[in-house]
Structure 1
Amino acid sequence: MNLTRLFIFRPVTTLLLTLSIMLLGLLGYRLLPVAPLPQVDFPTIMVSASLAGASPETMAATVATPLERSLGQIAGVTEMTSTSSQGSTSVILQFDLDRDINGAARDVQAAINAARSLLPSAMESLPTYRKANPSDAPIVMLALTSATRTPGELYDLAESKIEQAMGQVKGVGEVSLMGSALPAVRIDLQPLKLAQYGISLDTVREAIANSTTNKPKGILQGSQQSWVVDSNGQLDKAAQYQDLIVSYKDGKAVRLHDVATVYDSVEDQYQAGFLNSQPSVMVGIKRQAGANMLDTIDAIKAQLPALEKDLPADTQLKVVVDRSPTVRESLYDTEETLLIAMLLVIAVVFVFLRNVQAVVIPALALPVSLIGTCAVMYLLGYSLDNLSLMALIIATGFVVDDAIVVLENITRHIEEGLSPLRAALKGAQEVSFTVLSMTMSLVAVFIPILLMGSIVGRLFREFAVTLTVSLLISMFVSLSLTPMLCARLLKPKPKVSKRPHPLYQFIENQLNALLAAYSRGLAWVMAHQKITMFSLVLTVLLNLFLFTVVQKGFFPNQDTGLLMGALRADQNISFQAMKPKMLEFTKIIQSDPAVDSVMSSMGSGMFGSRNSANFFVRLKDFSDRDATATEVANRLSLKTSHIAGAQMFLMAAQDLHIGGRSANATYQYSLQADDLDVLREWTPKVQAALAAIPQLNSVDSDSQTGGQEVVINIDRDRAQRLGVNVQMLDTMLNNAFSQRQVATLYHTLNQYHVVMSLQDSYTRDPEILKELYVINDSGDRVPLSAFASFKGGNAPLSVAHQGQSATSTVAFNLNDGVSLEQAQALIKQAMAQLGLPSTIQAGFAGTAAAFAQLTATMPWLIIAALAAVYIVLGVLYESYIHPITILSTLPSAGVGALLLLLLTNTQLTVIALIGIILLIGIVKKNAIMMIDFAIHAERTQGMSPKQAITQACLMRFRPIMMTTLAAFFGALPLALGSGGDADLRSPLGIAIAGGLALSQLLTLFTTPVVYLWLDSLSRATKRQWQRMRHVES
């Protein structure tokens, strides 16, 4: 049945079907969420645990290891890393892309419960988990400031009000507070006075713990009424603890203020945060894996007005970082590019047809195909993001191709004298198979991408499906709406030709001249077929050469308007010395003309070690600065390089991050070993080797083993004779130096603690250990020096695991103009010269590992796309030979794409790779149009192969030029685009524009020659086969 005929004779049905596609598409467009990139997040869960006072090695051995054993048994875990620092451990789990994060979270909770009995009894709470990747950039950052309140009061407000409200917002995965700690009653003990009164630290701890309580006390039940029993058992303020009796000396009470300084402060005094240079508590909000960024940000901002009303009047809540404006601006730029591409494509059609009615017909294919695609995108759960919009931009050059082919053939029949109706019936029927072949063979190139299970396949699945749907809708429109409109809108050829407009005549003359030049060139290549075939072989070899020399990368850098980084100082720096250094760097960064605001924080725990500070730098809008985010980061690193004693590491925040380990640079090289000492020995050597490579910068390692420690060597025999056991010593040291929480204060909105430690003046010199003592079994004071000796040593500031083995990571950034491929080659060369021992497993991690995998699979991906296209063409043509003729157009497209990437100094990233794969489907359209008409002429008109292909080339010259130029100008706005994320989009446009430009020039001449050679080969093979069968018979 001829479906085209059905649509031509049923115009109402055709129009209503088309309108239905448009209406559904418009509805889908309004409902589509907006995002910077497709949702390709690895399901990631972070487990956090804390144990006050524990060293990194203790945390790794007693907390991280038991958790890893239990968590490692969860199905679907692809990567498990942990980092243990002073008093805290975080374990990051990444799962298969197809794993449901909610199901994974339930398994994680079960694993935590299973590990409970293996964890230290001193842990005050079980480990917790959050469904967020700690290496992701925050989507919103808030700053809470006040001119009258202390940082502790601000932190209390942030935790009790802001954190709770933000954590309930749909899509939020993690809310973290930085810059201070909760209010607390602090008790700073003076060991000399304790010795004077003969009181132990544990005696004081017990006295404090027993002095404040808030337990249920029951109810009095009378015959008529009841009474709730309450007391003033809880002490809330420091003043209430001053006169607390801790012991007696010679019958006289010794009160707490006699042996300690008691005051209201915060739980952890070694944390600080600043907005620019103003003390601030910062709230970092990260989205849950898979959550839509803009929907989550909009939901967060919708909560802020009510939240601000609930906060005290003397506080200010500011939105410092908000990713939504940059995302929306990038999408607006992309939509503008889409509009420009549509106008250019329509202009190309008008130049060739010079008829308003004729231009309207293929122009309608654009909105119908593009808008209709939005309906399918919504049903599949896709979003309007850079990649899906890039697919629609590229589609502008494709979706008119089918309509152009149909329209041009119908117009040709009208010019030959047929009526519009008969021309539409005949012309559409003639090219329906051509249209089907072009569309299905282009769709076929995406089959390997759709089957890929890696991050690249998942990332571009949305791109491939979006483009495929638009092409299928376009094919439907070209075989339904286009011939119907041609039959009704086009006018028959006038009996008396009118004099054309001078401009139209000029264009027609130029096109005729171009056709004449092509005819002469075609005649020459037909007479010199060997030279033509040699040039084809040369392009194949040139492809191989260019592929090896073009620079390769993984994913273009995005400009999100946010820099993330860290300040790393000497490993033994104190908090008091680190704070002014952080402010010094803040002022330098803030002075840069591209910087809007700077947020910085430092402190212990999961937000940083004692020698580091975290920085978040918000940049001005892209139009208000003179450099990209990466260029600003490099500039700031150079500006701060002269400051002695510290180094700044900054990098542009990216939406696509692979791996769960955080680092101070973009790319990572990982070392893994069972022997921690071997790892500590070789990590600095590897770091030095990478730092010596001039193409790299910001080389840093997470292995910090130069921290100082005091080792207490216990003489166990002497300790036993003195009635002292090791548990007593551990308890005393914990009481003295761990900022121990000895009591809990319960309030309406939050719980606070009483924190006990030695006075600061007694924690600055290891010699204080000689003045401490423990109480033995007999109640006597025994100095530490009586049964222990002291010596200095080195200790790590953090301990990292990969799987369940010790690991370290050396991170690095690339200098401008250096590709990741170059960097990896240089690093491999440096490692070969270094000679790592066999006990260390070394390799790239995170994004660098994903790039290495992509580099290995890139040729196979292209081969798979070629095989898919060959199979589809073979099925359509029922021939082994014709698909080869069609695919012979590809080498020139590859040369054009790679050559233009090389000339524009653009790296071959996954974006450019998709452009090259697209070219496999695009450039063969020229050959399909030629071969279809040649085959038809041979079968129906009895022409020789040479006559048939020559006529086909000349007859299809104009539609070939129209479709190629439409695709070229559809890609050109991407290649020449501007804006914050232009670097993300331009490789696709450059690859397609370069490939189309060269392939258009060469394939017009090489395809007919290849057709003749393969036709001769096919005929010779058939003759030989017939002779063989004749001999056998």
Structure 2
Amino acid sequence: MFSRFFIHRPVFAWVIAIVIMLAGALSIESLPVAQYPDVAPPSIAIKASYPGASADSLENSVTQVIEQQLTGLDGLLYFSSSSDSSGDVRITATFTQGTNPDTAQVQVQNKVQQATSRLPTEVQQQGITVTKSQQDFLLIMALYDTTDKSTAADIADYMVSNLQDPLSRVEGVGSIQVFGSQYAMRIWMDPTKLAAYSLMPSDISSAIEAQNTQVSAGKIGAQPASRDQQLTATVTAQSRLKTPEQFRDIIVKSESSGALVHLGDVARVELGNEDYTTTTRLNGHPAAGIAVMLSSGANALATAERVKAKVEEFTAQMPKGYEVSYPKDSTDFIKVSVEEVVRTLFEAILLVVLVMFLFLQNLRATLIPAVAVPVVLLGTFGVLAVFGYSINTLTLFGMVLAIGLLVDDAIVVVENVERLMRDKGLSPVAATEQSMREISSALVGVALVLSAVFLPMAFFGGSTGVIYRQFSITIVSSMLLSVVVALTLTPALCAALLKPVAHAPSNANGFFARFNRGYENVQQRYTGRVTHVITGPWRYLALYGVVIVVMGVLFVRLPGGFLPNEDQGDVMVQFTLPAGATEARTSKVGESIEHYFLNEEKNNVEAIFVISGFNFSGSGQNAGMAFVALKNWSQRPGQANSSTAIAQRAMQALSAIRDAQVFTMSPPAVQGLGQSDGFTFELQATGNTDRGRLLALRDQLLAAAAKNPRLMAVRPNDLTQMPQLQVDLDYARVRALGLSISDVTSTLSSAWGGTYVNDFIDRGRVKKVYIQGDAESRGQPSDLDKWFVRGTDSSGNTVMTPFSSFASTRWSYGPESLSRYNGLASYEIQGIGAPGVSSGKAMDEMEALARALPAGTTFAWSELSYQERLASGQAMSLYVMSILVVFLCLAALYESWSIPFSVMLVIPLGVVGAVLAATVRGLENDVYFQVALLTTIGLSAKNAILIVEFAEAAYQRGATLYEAALEGASTRLRPVLMTSMAFIAGVFPLAIATGAGANSRISIGSGIVGGTLTATVLAIFLVPMFFVMVRRAFPGRRTPAASLTVEPTSTQGEN
């Protein structure tokens, strides 16, 4: 017998346990901490810029050119792109789980390089970046002036000049997005003055390029030189200009009279913003911000800490009054949620120990299974380190579940040893040896079954597979370590620590005496009821059939989901004004939103960061976004102060703003899977469907969704059609007037769109120089006539020709932003389910509405919704695979194809409780509930194994089926109840969780508590019946297997 060696060599057993604990303790220091593992698939972001281009122009000349090269990429799942009228293109390629982000980045970079030569010169000049960056924001760092002496431009310039580059180089940062801009040298041209001097914008650009340049003049005395050369020195000449005054002195033209025309004569020169796209405020103060996006595969918590440490290095050097705030910080939720699970872990340990003491009623006996807890848990940390995992909520959940399971083995050993000492009068050593002969196979069987339940989870792919693997490896490793401890250290401790316990007098009045009398009364009634069930099974078979029907009905009606939404400590507000709205109008709406949160929700709000000119739909003067940081969870007790409740109240109140569409939203359940919660639906064009037709069908779909009571906040994730001034050039007329077409187009581009020329030096930092028409020359359509193009007449004389001579204008509507998905024109639609409607049901509704559209479209899901659809298709396969593997393990254990059915039939008894608990509490059939269901399957089988093992042993010894079933039931009732109650006690803190991350804990805890209750209460009555029925149907041989050889035991249970 394997355990006999350790019973007589306890030091050896202790050495094994100590080595396991040391390995785990040393591993803890090296394990990173995270909310989740790398659940989000790796993504690569491509960014390009074409200043002044429309969304249409960008899509046709940049986006599609790059997309067409994205072929042959290993592991590519899907790619999406957006092109907006601010001149920015973003293409995101998402890869399958397990793809190396570095390899993917190199492959994408190579594909982009192949497309570069086909891109416009302006795009190549701006540069194309390829980063392994997620799309959503890890955190936003806001810089503001508490004294209000600095303008937003001053703050932004300081931030960009001092913080942008250091933060972008922090390890783990994929990319950053700046809200605000540094200074640039702005040359605001006056078309009237230009025409008076026969100048065009191209002349201004050429003059700046020629006179604002760095000259490399070499050295005096550089080799080769004469042998008598006595001096060598570096020669310096003109360098880049630094001040507006120096730029005003640039000579743009020399008159025939010798007079010089300077830049200041035809343009206004100043230090202005490099970019005027956005304006920002923090709690009413002018501000600037930097959003940090995580690199694919990086640790969010460690990256955020490094970013904050880098910012802290600069705080002492900041101008007086400058303060740093973090209006969005995903890591606060990560830290608090992990701390909550750790606290739950210790609560579970305490409750399990109390339950063990209640049943064992002996400090020595309680100590033995309690010792197994640190040994197994520390050992599990060692296994996590070997597999390269992290300490995250999933692995900690697995450990909480494992606590109740890992003490089961030790409890079974201790309980059986005490029973043998009490009932047979054996010494501790003899009782331990006898006990291990009786139950070793049961211990191994339970470990195999529980491992079989969870092991298939480790082989599933996608984001769901990553979640499954965390649970699988954690629980399976805990189970295997637990059975090792139960076969080595636990029997050694039993033999050394346990003492024979005399029967308590029947008239004793202590708590434990009363408890034991109550238990004996329960056991006697139980034995009688089991006898009744075995001898008259038909009524109970009907009850079993009802259980199966109820289970099936409730399971089918359970709403689907992926991961529960959590109160992550922040709320986001996206607002969009009507087409053509100016930045001033957008800022006014932003101030109204800011006022609401700082006044109506002042007890819940820490800070609010408002951006005008940007939201998740794109960039434009009519777009806006607000990030609201809520106070700590401990300062917002109650459901009324949760982020969901705050967002719902804000949505209702802010809907009164007539000048804007306002939507409140929460962050996604998983970092890297979208910008917000809810679904992400892609409506794609097929065949010959053009943009106009696709837009009409999208609006038809949105109208149908608005009428659907099961959907809420369904909105297009793009900016509305904007008014566009179409300039029609008559190229024949241009030629007839002796004008150059390139001069015409460059003049138009520089005058109204602005042109980057080169760089200058500002306080030691290189910044950009732009030329553009002054505001008065580009405010109205008629201002086009103020601009002239230089040409020559038939006599060769210089002539300045106004645009009105060869151009006309007309109004039209066009897209402010355009999106594509997998190379097809698309419109992205986001939304959520109405209160009480799960995300899975909401997605079903959207699919039904999309299928009702006329021909010409197809649809797809992206981001979190893509993973949810993938997960829903895997769940049933997972259940079937786990049940099949359990059956095969039992068949191998019992060397029988029939006996396992007496164990497998108990599974519905646990599943019905899990489904009933989820239904009562309004939970979804999400990934956490699926793990709870698998755990319930394992626990149900475990309880059945403990009974069937002893019943089969008795039957092999010659007992009748009724006697064997009754012996197995009565003998194992106490350990079954004790292990089940211990497990429920360990998991119960999850079911009643509050605070950060509570919804995830509730989802998994409720299912397990409900399933374990029904699996225990029903199984202890029905498993003996199943054993009798299966054995009667398949008698088999009565030849005891070696693993089932046990000594005769009392059928009367404990007294």
- Provide the identity percentage: 27
Instruction: Report the CA distance shift for 1:831/1:110 in structure 2 as closer, same or farther (over 3 A).
Output: closer
1:236 to 234, 242, 247: 242
Is 1:909 the counterpart of 2:926? The answer is yes
Structure 2 distance, partners of 1:105, 1:952, is 61
Structure 1 distance, partners of 2:504, 2:585, is 94
Q: Which residue of 1 aligns with 2:553?
A: 545
Structure 2 distance, partners of 1:454, 1:204, is 56
Contact 1:334–1:389 (Cα < 8 Å) also in 2: yes
Q: Which residue of 2 aligns with 1:384?
A: 391
Q: Which residue of 1 aligns with 2:846?
A: 827
SS in 2 for 1:618: strand
- Shift of residue 24 of structure 1? 2.0
Question: Which amino acid in structure 2 is aligned with residue 573 of structure 1?
Answer: A
SS in 2 for 1:611: strand
Contact 1:341–1:971 (Cα < 8 Å) also in 2: yes
Contact 1:214–1:746 (Cα < 8 Å) also in 2: no
Q: Any residues of structure 2 matched to 1:480-499 within 5 Å, and which?
A: 480-494=488-502
Q: Which residue of 2 aligns with 1:286?
A: 293
Q: Any residues of structure 2 matched to 1:420-431 within 5 Å, and which?
A: 420-431=428-439
Task: Give the stretch that moved more between structures: 822-831 or 948-957.
Answer: 822-831
Q: Which residue of 2 aligns with 1:600?
A: 610
Q: Which residue of 2 aligns with 1:762?
A: 777
Instruction: Report the CA distance shift for 1:121/1:137 in structure 2 as closer, same or farther (over 3 A).
Output: closer
- Shift of residue 746 of structure 1? 3.9
Q: Which residue of 2 aligns with 1:1030?
A: none
Q: Which residue of 2 aligns with 1:808?
A: 827
Is 1:113 the counterpart of 2:120? The answer is no
Partner deviation per Cα, 1:705-761 (whole Å, 9 max, x = no partner): 511111122333333222235433211111101121223214575321222111112
Q: Which residue of 1 aligns with 2:161?
A: 160
- Shift of residue 522 of structure 1? 1.1
Instruction: Report the CA distance shift for 1:665/1:872 in structure 2 as closer, same or farther (over 3 A).
Output: closer
Q: Any residues of structure 2 matched to 1:458-473 within 5 Å, and which?
A: 458-473=466-481
Q: Which residue of 1 aligns with 2:226?
A: none
Is 1:644 the counterpart of 2:658? The answer is yes
Q: Which runs of 4+ in 1 moved over 6 A?
A: 495-499, 604-607
Is 1:792 the counterpart of 2:775? The answer is no
Q: Which residue of 2 aligns with 1:619?
A: 630
Partner deviation per Cα, 1:148-188 (whole Å, 9 max, x = no partner): 4443443333233312222232222223221x222122122
Structure 2 distance, partners of 1:732, 1:200, is 7
Is 1:13 the counterpart of 2:12? The answer is yes
- Shift of residue 772 of structure 1? 2.7
- Shift of residue 496 of structure 1? 10
Is 1:918 the counterpart of 2:938? The answer is no
Q: Any residues of structure 2 matched to 1:195-594 within 5 Å, and which?
A: 195-221=195-221, 223-247=229-253, 251=257, 252-313=259-320, 315-415=322-422, 416-494=424-502, 502-591=510-599, 592=601, 593-594=603-604
Question: Which amino acid in structure 2 is aligned with residue 277 of structure 1?
Answer: G
Question: Which amino acid in structure 2 is aligned with residue 805 of structure 1?
Answer: L
C-alpha RMSD of matched pairs (Å): 2.3
- Shift of residue 625 of structure 1? 1.6
Structure 2 distance, partners of 1:334, 1:297, is 21
**TM (normalized to structure 2)?**
0.92
Partner deviation per Cα, 1:400-434 (whole Å, 9 max, x = no partner): 11111111111111112111111100111110000
Structure 2 distance, partners of 1:647, 1:38, is 36
Q: Which residue of 2 aligns with 1:684?
A: 699
Structure 2 distance, partners of 1:72, 1:610, is 35
Instruction: Report the CA distance shift for 1:332/1:345 in structure 2 as closer, same or farther (over 3 A).
Output: same
Structure 1 portions without partners, runs of 5+: 1023-1033
**Total equivalences in the alignment:** 1014
SS in 1 for 2:122: coil
SS in 2 for 1:35: coil
Structure 2 portions without partners, runs of 5+: 223-228, 1039-1055
Q: Which residue of 1 aligns with 2:1014?
A: 998
- Shift of residue 72 of structure 1? 3.3
- Shift of residue 215 of structure 1? 2.5
Q: Any residues of structure 2 matched to 1:655-804 within 5 Å, and which?
A: 656-657=670-671, 659=673, 662=675, 666-674=678-686, 675-746=690-761, 749-776=764-791, 778=793, 779-804=798-823
Q: Which residue of 2 aligns with 1:630?
A: 644
- Shift of residue 974 of structure 1? 0.5
Q: Which residue of 2 aligns with 1:54?
A: 53
- Shift of residue 511 of structure 1? 0.4
Structure 2 distance, partners of 1:285, 1:668, is 22
- Shift of residue 898 of structure 1? 0.7
Structure 2 distance, partners of 1:359, 1:126, is 68
Structure 1 distance, partners of 2:760, 2:249, is 18
- Shift of residue 699 of structure 1? 2.0
Instruction: Report the CA distance shift for 1:630/1:636 in structure 2 as closer, same or farther (over 3 A).
Output: same
Q: Which residue of 2 aligns with 1:1025?
A: none
Structure 2 distance, partners of 1:215, 1:249, is 26
Is 1:173 the counterpart of 2:177? The answer is no
Task: Give the stretch that moved more between structures: 878-887 or 310-319.
Answer: 310-319
Partner deviation per Cα, 1:44-90 (whole Å, 9 max, x = no partner): 11111111111111111111112212233322221111111121101
Contact 1:158–1:177 (Cα < 8 Å) also in 2: no
Structure 2 distance, partners of 1:596, 1:815, is 28
Question: Which amino acid in structure 2 is aligned with residue 882 of structure 1?
Answer: I
Task: Give the stretch that moved more between structures: 341-350 or 237-246.
Answer: 237-246
Contact 1:737–1:763 (Cα < 8 Å) also in 2: yes
Structure 2 distance, partners of 1:355, 1:665, is 51
- Shift of residue 216 of structure 1? 1.3
Structure 2 distance, partners of 1:603, 1:495, is 81
Contact 2:965–2:1024 (Cα < 8 Å) also in 1: yes
Contact 1:139–1:287 (Cα < 8 Å) also in 2: no
SS in 2 for 1:610: strand
Q: Which residue of 1 aligns with 2:28?
A: 29
Contact 2:40–2:673 (Cα < 8 Å) also in 1: no
Contact 1:44–1:93 (Cα < 8 Å) also in 2: yes
Structure 2 distance, partners of 1:495, 1:648, is 73
SS in 2 for 1:284: strand
Contact 2:614–2:623 (Cα < 8 Å) also in 1: no
Contact 2:139–2:326 (Cα < 8 Å) also in 1: no
Question: Which amino acid in structure 1 is aligned with residue 714 of structure 2?
Answer: V
Instruction: Report the CA distance shift for 1:465/1:977 in structure 2 as closer, same or farther (over 3 A).
Output: same
**TM (normalized to structure 1)?**
0.94
- Shift of residue 775 of structure 1? 2.1
Contact 2:338–2:392 (Cα < 8 Å) also in 1: yes
Partner deviation per Cα, 1:596-642 (whole Å, 9 max, x = no partner): 10112233799733321232211100111242222222222222111
Partner deviation per Cα, 1:285-329 (whole Å, 9 max, x = no partner): 232222222222222333334222344456434444444443222
Structure 2 distance, partners of 1:825, 1:1018, is 46
Question: Which amino acid in structure 1 is aligned with residue 977 of structure 2?
Answer: M
Structure 2 distance, partners of 1:672, 1:1019, is 62
Partner deviation per Cα, 1:648-671 (whole Å, 9 max, x = no partner): 2232223515656x5x66311111
Structure 2 distance, partners of 1:876, 1:715, is 88
SS in 2 for 1:118: coil
Partner deviation per Cα, 1:90-117 (whole Å, 9 max, x = no partner): 1111112111111222222222222221
- Shift of residue 250 of structure 1? 7.7
Structure 1 distance, partners of 2:495, 2:277, is 81
Partner deviation per Cα, 1:501-556 (whole Å, 9 max, x = no partner): 62121001110111112112112212321111122222222221001222222101
Structure 1 distance, partners of 2:877, 2:72, is 34
Q: Which residue of 2 aligns with 1:99?
A: 99
- Shift of residue 241 of structure 1? 2.8
2:968 to 936, 942, 952: 952
Contact 1:273–1:600 (Cα < 8 Å) also in 2: yes
Contact 1:665–1:699 (Cα < 8 Å) also in 2: no
Q: Which residue of 1 aligns with 2:877?
A: 860
Task: Give the stretch that moved more between structures: 136-145 or 106-115.
Answer: 136-145
Question: Which amino acid in structure 1 is aligned with residue 989 of structure 2?
Answer: P
